[in-house]
Amino acid sequence: MTDINAFIDEKVKNNDVFLFMKGTPDFPQCGFSGQVVQILSYLGVDYDSANVLESPELRDGIKAYSNWPTIPQLYVKGEFIGGADITREMFQSGELQQHLQKAGIEVKQSA
């Protein structure tokens, strides 16, 4: 396992909710990352994140890790949930909230 894969694996497996994004939660640098941040903030979910713009190795590494071509990428309890479109659709249907609650993650708001 490469160093970047080990870094990604550690983040995904040691955080209940983790978001690989462009920018930071306080300053998203793409609209799609901003959408996922808004959803998680609305739900009051505690999460950690990594800015893929800080490292080309991380940006390429997360795409290979998940076999998913776009960023952001949301993980819950080590499971890849999806990017912005999937996260938004799951949120709008209530499926994301249910998934988080089943995983034992506190959700403060419902859609």
Identify the structural domains of the chain with CATH numbers, from first to last. 3-102 (3.40.30.10)
For residues 9-29, average pLDDT = 98
Tens digit of pLDDT for each residue in 61-89? 999 999 999 999 999 999 999 999 999 99
pTM of the full predicted structure? Answer: 0.95
30 in a labelled binding site: yes
User: How far is Cα 20 from Cα 98, in angstroms, rounded to an integer?
Assistant: 22
What's the whole-number average pLDDT of the chain? 95
**Among candidate residues 63, 88, 72, 87, the one with its CA nearest the CA of residue 33:** 72
Confidence class for position 2, pLDDT limits 50, 70, 90: confident
For residues 12-23, average pLDDT = 98
pLDDT higher than threshold 70 for residue 21: yes
Do 19 and 49 meet the contact criterion of CB atoms below 8 Å apart?
Answer: yes
